[in-house]
């Protein structure tokens, strides 16, 4: 791959695997695919959900409201999730066997207790930025390949925000797995098409 290209591996953490607190079906199957393509990139980014206890996105922070319900918060609609990826817990750790040794940039997101964050670039209030955009520009990156968990949430939001940063974007679908809540996967793919984001297979990466 070229020096101006980067791989962004999104939230491949224990709590998103099949036995985790917020399981993604077949989540562990992305690990060998991602490990196979990491050596093809000079620039590799890993992101982690990194929530404090009592995070606004946890159903347990809103007594009487069931997980997967939606509530209104200051920045709009918020899906309430089971507690997951709590800071400094085993569930927040990277998946067993994921090769993170060659990571060049590590982004922790969702660390503010009152703001959720799906995207690796911008939190859900659409104002609070991570350092990822600045880091990519400092490395001369103009094209990114996004994969991980889950396709229709954190991977998709990251891909869309990468496009907003003016980057060329591809989503590596066989290195990602989705949740698909109420048609969310189809909706994500439709949004990518509108933004010129490519859908590719890892076999297309040389």
Beta strands at 105-109 and 43-49: parallel, antiparallel or unpaired: parallel
- Per-residue pLDDT tens over the stretch 4-21: 999 999 999 999 999 999
Of 11, 15, 49, 152, the active-site residue reads 11
> Does a structural domain hold residue 36?
yes
> Does a structural domain hold residue 179?
yes
pLDDT at 2: 87
Q: For residue 117, what are the domain limits?
A: 5-52+85-204
- Consecutive H or E run containing 181: none
pLDDT at 26: 97
> Does a structural domain hold residue 64?
no
- Per-residue pLDDT tens over the stretch 55-103: 999 999 999 999 999 999 999 999 999 999 999 999 999 999 999 998 9
Q: How many residues does the chain have?
A: 206
Tell me if residue 11 is catalytic. Answer: yes
In this structure, what token pair is assigned to residue 51?
């929530």
CATH number where 188 lies? 3.40.50.850
How many angstroms separate the Cα of 71 from the Cα of each of 38, 94, 152, 184, 201? 38, 29, 19, 17, 36
pLDDT at 15: 98
> Does a structural domain hold residue 19?
yes
Give the closest residue to 35 by CA, choosing from 144, 142, 139, 147: 147
Strand partners, 172: 200
> Does a structural domain hold residue 163?
yes
What's the pLDDT band for 198 if we cut at 50, 70, 90? very high
Give the closest residue to 46 by CA, choosing from 111, 85, 101: 101
> Does a structural domain hold residue 106?
yes
Distance CA 138, CA 159 (A): 19
- Consecutive H or E run containing 8: strand 5-10
Of 85, 105, 147, 154, the active-site residue reads 154
What's the pLDDT band for 45 if we cut at 50, 70, 90? very high
* Angle at the Cα of 102 from the Cα atoms of 97 and 105, rounded to 5 degrees: 110
pLDDT of 180 higher than 90: no
* Total domains, the chain: 1
**Long-range contacts formed by 129-132: CB under 8 A, 24+ apart:** 131/107, 132/8, 132/45, 132/47, 132/105, 132/107
Tell me if residue 109 is catalytic. Answer: yes
Instruction: Could you list the beta-strand ranges (E) of 31-167.
Output: 43-49, 70-73, 76-79, 105-109, 143-149
Tell me if residue 154 is catalytic. Answer: yes
Give the closest residue to 86 by CA, choosing from 61, 65, 111: 111
Of 49, 85, 105, 109, the active-site residue reads 109
Distance CA 136, CA 140 (A): 6
> Does a structural domain hold residue 78?
no
> Does a structural domain hold residue 28?
yes
pLDDT of 206 higher than 90: no
- Per-residue pLDDT tens over the stretch 96-144: 999 999 899 999 999 999 999 999 999 999 999 999 999 999 999 999 9
């Amino acid at each position: 791959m070229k020096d101006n290209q980067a791989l962004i591996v999104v939230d491949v953490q224990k709590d998103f695997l099949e036995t985790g607190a917020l399981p993604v079906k077949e989540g562990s199957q992305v690990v060998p695919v991602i490990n196979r393509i990491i050596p093809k990139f000079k620039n590799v980014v890993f992101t982690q959900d990194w929530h404090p206890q009592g995070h606004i996105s946890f159903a347990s922070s809103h007594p009487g409201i069931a997980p997967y319900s939606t509530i209104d918060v200051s920045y709009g609609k918020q899906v309430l999730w089971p507690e997951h990826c709590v800071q400094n817990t085993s569930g927040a750790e990277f998946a067993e066997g994921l090769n993170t040794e060659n990571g060049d940039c590590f982004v922790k997101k969702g660390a503010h207790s009152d703001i959720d964050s799906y995207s690796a670039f911008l939190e859900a209030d659409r104002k609070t930025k991570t350092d990822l955009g600045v880091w990519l520009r400092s490395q001369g990156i103009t094209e990114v390949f996004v994969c991980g968990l889950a396709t229709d949430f954190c991977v998709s939001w990251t891909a869309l925000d990468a496009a907003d940063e003016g980057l060329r974007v591809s989503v590596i679908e066989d290195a990602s797995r989705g949740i698909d809540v109420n048609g969310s996967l189809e909706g994500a793919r439709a949004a990518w098409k509108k933004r010129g984001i490519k859908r590719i297979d890892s076999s297309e990466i040389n």
